[in-house]
Structure formats: structure tokens, C-alpha cells
Amino acid sequence: MMRVRVMLLVGLMLAVIVTAMGVVHTKYRTRLHFAHLQDLRTQRDAIEVEWNRLRLEEAALSTHVLVERKARRELNMFAPRIGDILLIEERTHVKP
């Protein structure tokens, strides 16, 4: 009877120790995952700031003045003069 109690006590102590080690391990893994999550959030925030900066830059570069200036300088384009414009009218086809 005494031997059974000792074995039960040893078994319970062993279960408590194993459970405690499991708790410590789980807490450690939770901290690792939380630190990784914080790193990912920081990266997300940095990417979001970069995305907003790029959107602002795109909006600034796509203004009509800048597009026209670039077309004139790099592509040698120009607005047509009045004499260069040819107006083509559609005629309705009349049957005889």
C-alpha cells in the first residue's frame, strides 16, 4: 500500500514537472512568435509608408504640366499650329 502511494506521488511529481516544462516552452514559443509578429507589423508599416510616398510621387509626376514638358523635351512633340490642323467632315452619301 505504501509503495503504491510512493509511486503515485512520484508519478504526480513527474507530471507536474513535465507540465511545468511544457508551460515554460509554450511561453518561450509565444514570446518568439510575438516578437516575429511585431517585426512583421513594423515591415508592414514601412511598406505602407513607402506605398503612400510612391502614390504621391506618381500623382505629382502625372500632372499635365510635367507630361507636356516631358513630351516637348524628350519626344520633341509640340501642339499643332492652326495651319497644321486639317478638318475632315463626314459627308452623307446621297443616292441619285
What domain range is 36 assigned to?
2-78
- Look at residue 39 and tell me if it is in a domain: yes
Counted domains in the chain? 1
Residue 46, pLDDT score:
98
pLDDT given at position 92: 76
Between CA 31 and CA 27 the distance in angstroms is 6
Is residue 86 in a domain? no
Residue 46: inside a domain = yes
What is the rounded average pLDDT of the residues 21-49? 98
Residue 96: predicted pLDDT: 61
Structural domain contains residue 93: no
**Mean local confidence (pLDDT), 55-76:** 88
Is the pTM value of this prediction over 0.85? no
Give the pLDDT confidence score for residue 34 in this predicted structure. Answer: 98
- What are the CA-CA distances from residue 69 to residues 33, 62, 84 (Å)? 52, 11, 21
At residue 19, the 3 state secondary structure works out as: helix
In this structure, is residue 83 part of a structural domain?
no
Residue 48 in domain: yes
The pLDDT value recorded for residue 95 is 67
Asked whether residue 91 is assigned to any structural domain, the reply reads no
